[in-house]
Every structure is written in structure tokens, then in C-alpha cells.
Amino acid sequence: MNKSQLIETLKTLSSKEIKRFETFVASPYFNTNLNTNHLLEHILDYGPDYDADTLSLENCFRHLFPTEKTIKLQKVRDQMSILYKLLKKFLVFEAWQNKEGDQDLALLEQLRMRRLYKLHGIHFKSIYEKMQQSPYLDRNYYLLQHRLMEEAEANFMYQEVRKNQGELLQQSVDHLDQFYVSKKMARMIEMLNRSSIVNTQFNLHFMEELETILENKSMDHLDIPAINVYFQVCKIFKHADEDRYFFELLELLEQNSQYFPKTEARTLYRMAQNYCIRKINKGEEQFLGELFRIFQRLLSSQILIENEEIRTPDYDNIIAVAVRLKAFAWVHIFMDKYTDLLPVTDKDNAYHYNLAKLYYEEKDFDKVIDLLNTVKFTDVYYEINTKYILMKLYYDQDELDVLSYSVIAFEKLVKRNKQISSQNRGGIINFLYFLKKLSKLKKQIGYKDRVFIEKQKIKVLELMETRTPITNISWIKDKLKEL
């Protein structure tokens, strides 16, 4: 029962959503089955984890049918099925509540179907004016505009009015074009982005035709932020060696990001961030500073903050970039300000791990191990990165025998864990390979002459050119220089 679709979905509801769902189920408009109410009350007693052994079909039956002596589990399953259907309806209803534009259009359709043409006209004007005041000019804006003009055209046809209303049809088609081009560009850049990350090729239908139209400015589409920005993103993929397109994109985002919902603005900035990452991976370290400035922009504009929360991967990545730039004082301020905005389930882990990483870079080694011991391995990410820090610490403190055992254990973990992608696995294995060579060289310094050490260092650097990817490659190179 604990693994049922009903329970798995209930686990995802917040405490506020649980209360609204209880009201939903209790409403006779949606549900007239009292047993379903009782079942929900009983199940919620086991929340929010719902993993107790006593949450069973048998106990649910006794709770719902206390006077029946013979246990009939199918009766409980039937009630669970009803409750799960209600839960799905509730999720749809919740989503519908957030789509004001869809509700407005549904109202207009109902007024038209009921031949309430005067009311239709009044509400159409009000809805049109409201849409014009939208802060966002993203592709969904143009889709809603198209649908609104379609509704106006349908109302015109429904009344069989013979006067010319050609402007409605023209506006409907224009907004459809604007939606299509912006949506098409968004999908194409995601294809280009995906191709740059994994070895997948996509068919980019109509890409050349769209580019020709936009480049020649035969239509006014580049006046639309949703098209202009996405078109610029396309350019950074197609002209990856010409950095001017990247800087032009940053300028466009600075001017237009307010016209996009936060989720879409984050996606657009992510494309710019990925460009920086590709450049950094090619050894162009100056783009680390550009990546940091993008993060600072996302923080100052609140684009990374939604519902008073910052995503854990964003928190981790910001600190990783700032630490790599040795902006240690900035990181301390950032952690003081944003740690409390992390999801409750991640907060302690993310804080302790990142603080340990910061102390390691500041060479405050005494604090590192104690902090890492508090990190719980809730996912493979924290386990791997915690081990990275520990092994670096062992190396720096000349605990090379302990390091040797740690490397062996880490290799076994990486080879066995199926959650690690093949690309990440390769990067880790290569890191460990060169860490062993680094450790061996460090041991040899006491009894080998300087000429031998320098020759070995050159061999290691040459070997690094042939084995890619290598995780933490900058750290390996820095430690080689120190030998």
C-alpha cells in the first residue's frame, strides 16, 4: 500500500496542498462518498512519510468498516481508486487555478455558446485590456492573444454578422505566427543545447528558412523579445568560436529578461552559462568570471528565487564558481544570506558540504573533516564530492597511505554505482588515475633528483592531453606545479 500511486502522489503535496485537498474531497460537489473522506483522514495520520508498517490494507479496512468481521481488501482498493481519481482531479483543478488566461477564454466561449453576446462583448474588452497589461511578452503571451482573436472571430461567425471584421482574422494569424516562431526557436535551441551535451543529432526542420526570414527582416519578428532573444541564442551555437554573439546575448537578456517568466528567463540564462562552461572546458579560464557575473545578475534580479526558495543545484554551482575564483569573502556573505532559502530537506547537507569546501580552499583544514562527517549521502552527488574533498585533504596533509586506500574504495564505488553517468564515471576514473600519479611523484621528491621530477611532471601533463574528460583537472595541474 505504501508504494501505491495514491500514496506516492500524496507524498508530493505540501502541507497547504494537503489542507486544500481535504476540503476538495469533503465538498459534495466533487465527492459524495463518505468512506472516501474517512480513508483520507486515516491515511493522512501517517503523513508526511506514509512509510509505517501499520499503514496497510487490513488496518484501513478495520477503520472504514469496523462492524464487518470478514476482511475484504478489495473494498479498500475500490476506495483507494476513488480517492486517487479525486486526487488527480484536484491536481488538474490546482493547475487550472493558476491559468487565468485559460479561464478567461473558457468564460468567453461559454458566453458565446449561450448566445449572451452583449456580455461576451463586455468581458472580451475587459480581458483584452488585461492581456495588454501583461508584464511578460513570452511565447505564451502571443498564444493567448491568438486564442483571444480566434474567440472574437468565432463570436463574429456565430452571430452571422455580415459586416467586415477582417482585422480580427489578421490579428489572429499574426499572433499565431509570433507564437509559432518563438516556440519553434525555443525548441530548436534546446535541440542544439542537447546535441552539445550528449551525442544526439536532431533534424532541425525549417531552421534555415526561419533564419533567412529573421536575418532579412522581411517580417517584424525581431521586435518581439521572445523571438529576438531565442534567435540570438541560436547564433551562439552556430558561431561557437565568435564570442561577440555571446556578449550580444548577455546585452539582450539584460534589456529583455523582465518580459519572461522566471522559469523561462532561467532557461535563457542557462544557455549563456552553458556557453561559458564549454569555453572553460576548452581552457578559456576568463569565462569563469563571465559565469560568475551571470550568477550575480540572476541573484540581483531575483530570477533564481521563486516562492522564497533557491534551488539546491543553483546554490551549489554558485559557490563552486565563486570558490574557484577565490572570492571567499563573497561566498561567506552569500551563504549567510541564501542558506535559509534552500529547501528544508537539503539545507543542512548543502550548507555543511559547501562550508567544508570553502574551508578547504581557505586552507582551514581543521574544520573540514568535522563538517564533512555531518553530510548525509542522500544522493550520489554529495557522496562523490565529499570524497573529492577528503582525498584532496589527505594529499595536502601528506597522508598518502590513507589517500591510497581512499582511491581504491572510491574506484569501486564509481564502477558499481549505476546512478553515475558514463561521462561522469570516465571523468572520475581519470581524476583518480592522475591523483595516484601525483601521489607517487610527491613520495619520490624525498629521494629523486629535481631533473627526474621535472621530467615526470612533463610526462604526466602530456598524458593528460590524451585522457579526457578529467574531473578536477585544474586542481591536478595546480598540484603538479607545486611539486
Residue 161 has pLDDT above 70, yes or no: no
The pLDDT assigned to 163 comes to 56
| Mean pLDDT across 477-483 | 89
Higher pLDDT, 178 or 350: 350
Residues 364-412 pLDDT 10s: 888 888 888 888 877 788 888 888 999 999 999 999 999 999 999 888 8
pLDDT of amino acid 218: 60
- Closest-CA residue to 219 (of 273, 161, 165, 177): 177
CA 57 to chain centre: 37
Instruction: Please determine, for residue 169, whether its predicted confidence score (pLDDT) is greater than 90.
Output: no
Predicted confidence (pLDDT) per residue in 113-137, tens digit? 998 988 998 999 999 899 888 888 8
Per-residue pLDDT tens digits for 57-95: 999 999 999 989 888 999 999 999 999 999 999 999 999
Contact between 87 and 9 (Cβ < 8 Å): yes
Amino acid identity, position 373: N
User: SS3 of 309, please?
Assistant: strand
- pLDDT score of 288: 93
User: Which of 136-150, 192-206, 441-455, 459-473 shows the lowest per-residue confidence on average (mean pLDDT)?
Assistant: 192-206
Q: What does the pLDDT look like over 409-440, one tens digit per residue?
A: 888 888 888 777 777 888 889 999 999 999 99
The pLDDT tens digits of the residues spanning 179-204 come to: 888 888 888 888 888 777 666 777 77
Alpha-carbon gap, residue 457 to 463, rounded angstroms:
10
What whole-number distance in Å separates Cα of residue 159 and Cα of residue 176?
24
Average pLDDT over the chain reads 88
DSSP-derived 3-state class of residue 306: strand
Q: Model pTM? A: 0.71
343-360 residue pLDDT tens: 888 888 899 999 999 999
The three-state DSSP-derived secondary structure of 324-393 is HCCCHHHHHHHHHHHHHHCCHHHHHHHHHHHHHHHHHHCCCHHHHHHHHCCCCCCCHHHHHHHHHHHHHH
**What percentage of residues in the chain have a pLDDT greater than 70?**
97
- Among 9-18, 252-261, 274-283, which is the least confidently predicted range? 274-283
Mean pLDDT of 295-299: 94
**Residue 462 predicted with pLDDT over 60:** yes
Give the per-residue pLDDT at 165.
64
Is the pLDDT at 111 greater than 70? The verdict is yes
Residue 166: which pLDDT band, with cuts at 50, 70 and 90? low
d(C-alpha 7, C-alpha 110), whole Å? 37
Confidence label for 225 from pLDDT (cuts 50, 70 and 90)? confident
